[in-house]
A and B are shown apart, each in its own frame.
Chain A
Amino acid sequence: MKKQYIATILICLLFLSNSSAANAFSGQVIQKGAYGDDVIELQARLQYIGYYTGQIDGDFGWGTYWALRNFQQDYGMDIDGLAGPETRQKLINASEYNRDFVKGNINKGVKFTHYGGTPLKNQVKDEPSTQKMTLPKGYSEKDIQLMANAVYGEARGEPYEGQVAVAAVILNRIEDEAFPNTASGVIFEPLAFTAVADGQIWLTPNEQAKRAVMDAINGWDPSENALYYFNPVTATSKWIWSRPQIKQIGEHIFCL
């Protein structure tokens, strides 16, 4: 009796895994900026019929967006750049998706393509795929890394809010005309940051510091437009006390 029960479950499981492969797509509306398995399938299918020529990486960027719009145009749909039910169905009808091949190569981290009509084994290159991080406009990966280093060196013991605020101060300085115009210029200005002076900036930052930088770049500013901050307990400079103070977050007073 019990054995039979287990067997039924096994059969169910088999059936389930089969059916998900056949139906494909999880049912979500896929839009630009999305990330994950559905995007991988979308890219692979668009590539199969020649619309998408970029790397299949699961990151719905501009390349995928234009490919999808061109597909929608050619198949007489509303051109909105969204992969809704109709678009997905038409795409499924028009293309094939070899999931094992695509996912296998992504996991191996090699360069590959998924065009229809070409034998799959000819589409794998024996070189590592290039990972491309989606970056905010106007900042390089190294800028963000550098700012994360500065935030970690300056404020790693602070609440998250305080870390975002430190990152925001760096960005406010880049904007301000009295300071250098680049992230590196602001960070390495002599006497600007203690973490630079004592070398703590070269500690390896954690994920939280990077998140704080990204949030600040996106527009969060807990410092309320501050240009300076200091720790009232350890600050040795008299001058810094003369600045107009805005607010205190954790150990730091933020000022103009």
Chain B
Amino acid sequence: MKKKKIILITLFLCAFIATAAAAFQKGQVQALETHMENQYQRAFHEMTFQMDLLHDEIGSTLAMNGGRTLTPALTEVWRLTSMIHSDIGQLPLGILPFSEMEKFLMKIGEFSYRTSVRDLSSEPLTGEEYDKLKQLYSQSADIQTELRNIQERILNEELSWLDLEELMATGDAQAQPVVDGFAKVDGTVKGYASETFAPTEQETASMRRKQLQHLSGSEITEQEALKIAESFSETALDQAEVSKSMKGSPYPFLTVREPEENFSMDLSLKGGYPLYLIKDREINNTSLSLNEAATEAEAFLKKNKLNDLKLDQAQQTDHSASFTFVKYLEDENVWVLDDSVYLKVALDNGEVLGFTGFDYWAGYGEIDIPEPSLSEDEALSLLHSDYKNGETRMTLIRNEFDEHVLCFEFTGVSNDETYRIYINAETGQEEKVEKL
């Protein structure tokens, strides 16, 4: 009798502990889920709120006409676009078509930044810029309304972002109202960007370069690709396979692969230009100095007829050396920093294990060097008095607005740190400062 009682009590206790533990665990999972859901909700509601602010702020820039008040308002527009951008990045929209919206925001941001850093009292908004702002005002109103609609649905139907996330991860979120809402916003915005911000010449040029359409030459066959790869890399590729790029690539290319050698190389279909080369192997000792390896790298470039490149940077790491070569225009004495080639050399025998040519080919052939209107001393006088200059070069760089500008590149020391400062050789504008 007593025994039975003890057994019963033990059983009861066991059952009780198990249920309690399960309940506790479930509570924990639930707490975590709520926590995540709250974070998503915060990001979303903050985004819609900031979209409201953005609309109002663009509106107030329209009402102003003086430079002094306009600059802070435009800066505020710029700040809001970057806040919204950051909120979007925190939402589980990974596979939702929302990229047009983000591109549009970036454009607004860029526009407001450009105008806000300008001295608006001496150079006020042009009529064209004013029209752009008006257009943005009405467009942001549309986006705002759409986002408010989504927000209302989320609140009214108590939709959870966590459920949404799960649906989206599997990709069957077709008939989901929120997904549709976002798709609609994105679709609306798609037209806006091209309507308001006609692509500039720079942008179209950079697009064209991205597609490597300016490269000339006839299409190469797989056999020819293999031959070029062998002579370029000085590697015997007996087991190599050649494959063509897939349909979605903006520029067609051929890939030569030799798994035995861990070798892989891409060549443009048109003209067979080497885009990149990789050869991975163990390097166990260092018998060449960095300087000797640089000589090997130079010889490699010369052998492959890449003659207008000059060594810009060298770095030794465990048994290998990396080099950046930059296009150097001898007649003008100008370094074109964008058109660069990267090489990796093994320090045991000087073999070239890596090559990247895309940037070089992308910029190939279209260089227009303006005449500097400043002398080196004039440019130097624009720098801070504490700065002690060490080296000067003439360089062609891309500034923050993606424009090619001719600059004096000054490398020197300020407060025990080395800085590189780019001064526009035509306008004297400080284009870029890098801490090295």
Contact = CB atoms under 8 A, between A and B. Distances in A.
Q: How large is the interface on B (under 10, 10 to 19, 20 to 34, 35 or more residues)?
A: 35 or more
A256 B248 contact: yes
Q: Which interface residue of B165, B264, B321, B340 has the most chain A CB atoms within 10 A? A: B264
Contacts of B340: 219
B170 A237 contact: yes
Interface string A23-37: 000101111111110
Contacts of A36: 286, 316
A248 interface: yes
A219 B280 CA distance: 16
* Interface residues of B, dominant DSSP: mixed
Contact of B171 (A62, A190, A237, A255): A237
A30 B246 contact: no
Contact of B390 (A66, A185, A243, A247): A66
A33 B249 contact: no
Contacts of A204: none
B356 interface: yes
Interface stretch (B7-15, B50-58, B87-95, B217-225): B87-95
B398 to A, nearest CB: 12
A100 interface: no
Nearest to B358: A221
A246 B289 contact: no
B264 A246 contact: no
A14 interface: no
Interface string B102-127: 11001000000000000000000000
A163 B13 CA distance: 54
B94 A191 contact: yes
Nearest to A63: B418
B247 interface: yes
Contacts of B266: 222, 224
Contact of A66 (B172, B292, B354, B418): B418
Given A191-B94, A255-B248, A34 B290 contact: yes
A159 interface: yes
Contact of A236 (B92, B98, B170, B418): B170
A100 to B, nearest CB: 23
B89 A247 contact: no
B342 interface: yes
B86 A220 contact: no
B26 to A, nearest CB: 21
A239 interface: yes
A249 B276 CA distance: 14
A62 B418 contact: yes
A31 B294 contact: yes
B89 A189 contact: yes
A239 B253 contact: no
B165 A190 contact: yes
Nearest to B413: A66
Interface string B212-240: 00000000000000000000000000000
Contact of B262 (A26, A159, A243): A159
A145 interface: no
A232 B264 CA distance: 21
Contact of B255 (A26, A159, A236, A247): A247
A160 B282 CA distance: 12
Interface stretch (A86-94, A116-124, A175-183): A175-183
A160 B280 contact: yes
Nearest to A249: B264
Contacts of A157: none
Contacts of A106: none
Contacts of A181: 85
B210 interface: yes
B278 A33 contact: no
B344 interface: yes
A86 to B, nearest CB: 15
B348 interface: no
A224 B253 contact: yes
A132 interface: no
A215 interface: yes
B322 interface: yes
B291 A29 contact: yes
Given A236-B170, A246-B245, A256-B250, A190 B434 contact: no
A130 interface: no
A50 interface: no
A137 interface: yes
Contacts of A236: 169-171
A161 B280 contact: yes
A170 to B, nearest CB: 14
Nearest to A28: B289
Interface string B274-314: 01101010000010011110100000000000000000011
B46 interface: no
Interface string B395-407: 0000000000000
A54 to B, nearest CB: 9
Contacts of B95: 191, 237, 239-240
A142 B171 CA distance: 33
B291 A31 contact: yes
Given A185-B89, A191-B169, A220-B356, 5 more contacts: A164-B278, A177-B102, A191-B165, A197-B169, A236-B171
In order of increasing CB-CB distance, the 9 nearest A-B pairs are A244-B248, A191-B94, A28-B289, A178-B99, A237-B171, A190-B92, A33-B314, A62-B418, A29-B291
9 contacts: A29-B289, A33-B290, A178-B98, A178-B102, A189-B94, A190-B40, A190-B92, A236-B170, A247-B255
Interface of A: 26, 28-36, 38, 62-63, 66, 69, 82, 134, 137, 159-161, 164, 177-181, 185, 189-192, 197, 214-215, 218-222, 224-225, 236-240, 243-249, 253, 255-256
